[in-house]
Amino acid sequence: MSSSSSITPVKNNTENTENKIIRYFLASIWGILILFGFISLLQPGWLVDISAEGKLSEALDYKTAGNASLQKGNFQAAAGQYIKAIKIQPDLTDAYGNLGISYTQLKRYDEALKIFRHLLKTDRKNMHTNYYNMAEIHKRQGDIDSAIDCYRKSAEINPFPIYSYQYLGEIYLKLKNWELAIKAFELALANKLTLENSYYGLLKGMEKTSADEPEIIEAVKLHLEQTADFTIYDNSVFINELKKDKEIAKTYNFLGYAFSKMNDFQSAKLNYKMALRIWPRFSEAKENLNAVNKLIK
């Protein structure tokens, strides 16, 4: 059985170009202010606004540096950059979330949990991500009940809940609760990234991120209520990816193992074969299939 770590990606922000534009704009304005220094004494409203934009640009620079350090695995440096960003721009939720991930990797679990609990109240658009990260922390701490609760909450509201169900199933395997493990793994497979699941997942994600735009929400809900005909689209890319997705193979293997523990050897055999169809050299699935074939004989 495989173990898991926090996998909330770092959000790859694309504000570099915007930052350059903002910095160029600010530099030009401040150059004019130097020539006409008396203007700064008047403190006009637009000057205050420009200063605020400068702070945002600086905060985003720190966040970008933090993202780079996080991707390199330099979690201490990443945390320092995120803290600087947050001090300048307290409402920078992405920086808060990635600071929580950095603390998790540094095993500063109590501080990480405090951050994600705060984000549950302030970042309603990403509640599923915050619950998922909290589940990972609770699992590392050995608080299994809290981990299960957070994985469930994440799965219920996550537009793409496959991994929330996957890791929930792994916990149930360790607890030897075979029935709940089977349900969790079946839900994970039901939510694998097919064309249809990807389409509806993106719509659900858009619905969450457009909370302040009622026209978009209304349009999204209309599409969610309609049944789309996916047979008219080229589905080959999704099919080919799923055929070689080793994580899906692991899910089938786990599901087969849970069925074998319930003495449902035919279902176990079917799932082991599905795992090997995706990953023919999956040694654990081969061993499990051989073992269940002997039991059937």
100 and 118, same domain (yes or no): yes
92 and 175, same domain (yes or no): no
- Which of 293, 266, 271, 284 has its CA nearest to residue 182? 271
Residues 44-68, buried b or exposed e (16+ Cβ, 10 A)?
eeeeeebeeebebbbbbbbbbbbbe
Q: Residue 82 is encoded by which pair of tokens?
A: 């995120």
Whether 238 is in a domain gets the answer no
Residue 51 pLDDT more than 80?
Answer: no
Whether 262 is in a domain gets the answer yes
Which range of residues forms the domain containing residue 270? Answer: 162-192+245-297
Whether 199 is in a domain gets the answer no
98 and 176, same domain (yes or no): no
Residue 216 pLDDT more than 50?
Answer: yes
pLDDT tens for each residue of 168-182: 999 999 999 999 999
50 and 111, same domain (yes or no): yes
Whether 218 is in a domain gets the answer no
- Banded pLDDT at 237 (limits 50, 70, 90): low
SS3 category, 172: helix
Measure Cα distances from 163 to 142, 248, 289 in Å: 19, 10, 24
Q: What is the mean pLDDT of residues 286-297?
A: 92
118 and 151, same domain (yes or no): yes
166 and 48, same domain (yes or no): no
Residue with tokens 């991500």: 129
Residue with tokens 């599923």: 128
Residue 79 pLDDT more than 90?
Answer: yes
pLDDT tens for each residue of 88-124: 988 888 999 999 999 999 999 999 999 999 999 998 8
Which 3-state string (H, E, C) describes 219-269? HHHHHHHCCCCHHHCCCHHHHHHHHCCHHHHHHHHHHHHHHHHCCCHHHHH
DSSP code of residue 233:
S
Whether 223 is in a domain gets the answer no
259 and 126, same domain (yes or no): no
Q: What is the mean pLDDT of residues 19-30?
A: 44
1 and 144, same domain (yes or no): yes
46 and 109, same domain (yes or no): yes
For residue 210, the model assigns a pLDDT of 59
Sign of torsion over alpha carbons 239, 240, 244, 246 = negative
Least confident stretch, 42-46, 167-171, 229-233? 42-46
- Which of 141, 129, 190, 170 has its CA nearest to residue 257? 170
49 and 124, same domain (yes or no): yes
Q: What is the mean pLDDT of residues 142-162?
A: 94
CATH (domain of 266) = 1.25.40.10
Residue 19 pLDDT more than 60?
Answer: no
What is the total count of domains within the chain?
2
249 and 132, same domain (yes or no): no
Sign of torsion over alpha carbons 15, 20, 26, 29 = negative
6 and 150, same domain (yes or no): yes
Whether 212 is in a domain gets the answer no
Whether 236 is in a domain gets the answer no
Least confident stretch, 101-105, 228-232, 276-280? 228-232
